[in-house]
């Protein structure tokens, strides 16, 4: 077996712009999916919480909806950032 040893003067390998761009767009997609699931789950729990007003479902549902909206805002800001740096 032949093992190739990199020379010490080569320095660290920098990722290509395409690789970092796809990683950034991947984080945007993850944030959007999490946001959609949280908002949908929050509405489903909220509907059940209306049938059972003494249970903590309404506050849990509100927390899920807020978390979903925060994830969506993060994805929006991140996608603007990725788009702005792609064009420069």
* Ranges of each domain in the chain: 19-86
pTM above 0.85, yes or no: no
Contacts for 58-64: CB closer than 8 Å, 24+ residues apart:
64/38, 64/39
Residues 17-38 pLDDT 10s: 565 666 667 889 999 999 999 9
- What whole-number distance in Å separates Cα of residue 22 and Cα of residue 78? 12
> What is the reported pLDDT for 20?
60
């Amino acid at each position: 077996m032949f093992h190739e040893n990199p020379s010490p003067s080569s320095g660290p390998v920098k990722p290509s712009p395409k690789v970092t761009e796809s990683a950034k767009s991947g984080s945007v997609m993850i944030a959007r999916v999490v946001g959609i699931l949280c908002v949908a789950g929050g509405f489903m729990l909220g509907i059940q919480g209306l049938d059972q007003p003494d249970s903590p479902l309404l506050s849990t549902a509100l927390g899920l909806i807020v978390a979903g909206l925060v994830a969506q805002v993060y994805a929006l800001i991140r996608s603007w950032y990725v788009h702005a740096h792609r064009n420069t």
